[in-house]
Structure 1
Amino acid sequence: MIIDSLQNASKYFGLHPNFQKAFEYVNQTDIAGLEAGVIEISEGLKLIVIHGDGNSREESIKGFECHDKNIDIQISIQGPETFAWKPREKCISPNGDYSDERDVRFFHDKPDMFFELQEKQFAILYPEDVHAAMIGEGFIKKLVFKVKI
């Protein structure tokens, strides 16, 4: 997992070819004006724009998840937004089977920690990062880039 501010995004361009495309899209787009939905950016890179009221920690960790085929870049547009996190290697209680179609695996495990993103901050979540998001009070707007591994 990586947590940083958008002003430092270029430090991570070399980690995956689509990271640069994702962050350039953010810099070239009126992200505050984006409506909720899915946008196909390029081969192996799509954007999901999410907004809504935050949830309690208890409600959000019902969706404690990780992915096998994608890296998430989650960017706070309006928040703050709290995340739950635990390394996948420590998760021992699956919540159902892996969905290949949705590229998601859920767990019943409790998070090891919580962290908060402020506006214009991001988290890069790899397949080994089990996470739950949208924790907070009030309105949250975010971008989730799905970067194919």
Structure 2
Amino acid sequence: MVIDKLKNAPLYYGLGQRFQQALEWLAKVDPDSLTPGQRVDIDGDNVYATRFDVDTKLPANCKLECHRNYADIQYVVSGTEGMGYSLPDAPLKQLSEYTPDIQFFTTDWDTVTVRPGTFYIVWPQDLHAPRVALESPAPVKVIVAKVKLN
């Protein structure tokens, strides 16, 4: 898992060409030019992004998720959210099967505050719960870039 400010994105270009494409795109895109829910193909199914305008949820209403074929780069444009995360050795309870590239779990987890201008990258082994309310539900605007791993 990586958490950093978008201004530091060039530090992560070494993760590979697809990560570089996604991070460069995030740095130059005008979020207001995107419609909420709109998928933007950056490199077809290899790298694409979607803008989400949602309210954060109380922790009790959040589930940990993971992905098999893609890494997520979640970039907070406005608002502040918590990002729940599970330690790698935490005992997990599976809540769903993969459908099509997401699976849900529950366990004890901690939360990191994610403010505007910050992105985080999660790989398949990184169970994460996006859009966690820090005090009470509040609006947040997020762009999620999906980076195909193979």
Does TM, scored on the shorter chain, surpass 0.5? yes
Tell whether the 8 Å contact from 2:90 to 2:108 is kept in structure 1 after alignment. no
Tell whether the 8 Å contact from 1:87 to 1:128 is kept in structure 2 after alignment. no
Tell whether the 8 Å contact from 1:89 to 1:128 is kept in structure 2 after alignment. no
Report the counterpart of residue 97 of structure 2 in structure 1: 97
Task: Give the alignment of 1:71-82 within 5 angstroms.
Answer: 71-82=71-82
Q: Which one is further off, 30-39 or 17-26?
A: 30-39
Tell whether the 8 Å contact from 2:6 to 2:27 is kept in structure 1 after alignment. no
User: Structure 2 CA distance, aligned partners of 1:104 and 1:88?
Assistant: 18
Task: Classify 1:16/1:33 alpha carbon distance in 2 versus 1 (closer, same or farther; 3 Å).
Answer: same
Q: Secondary structure at the match of 2:57?
A: coil
What TM-score, normalized to structure 2? 0.89
Task: Give the alignment of 1:4-83 within 5 angstroms.
Answer: 4-36=4-36, 37-43=38-44, 44-61=46-63, 64-83=64-83
Higher helix share: 1
Q: Secondary structure at the match of 1:140?
A: strand
Instruction: Look up the equivalent residue of 2:60 and give its one-letter code.
Output: E
Shift of 1:19: 1.3
Report the counterpart of residue 133 of structure 1 in structure 2: 130
Q: Which runs of 5+ in 1 are unaligned?
A: none
Across the aligned residues of Structure 1 and Structure 2, the Cα RMSD in angstroms comes to 1.4
Tell whether the 8 Å contact from 1:91 to 1:107 is kept in structure 2 after alignment. no
Task: Tell me the alpha carbon deviations over residues 40-98 of structure 1, each in whole angstroms, 9 at most, x when there is no partner.
Answer: 1104001011112211111122xx11011110000000111111101354343111222
Identity %: 28
Q: Secondary structure at the match of 2:10?
A: helix
Tell whether the 8 Å contact from 1:76 to 1:142 is kept in structure 2 after alignment. yes
User: Structure 2 CA distance, aligned partners of 1:69 and 1:85?
Assistant: 19
What TM-score, normalized to structure 1? 0.89
Aligned residues: 144
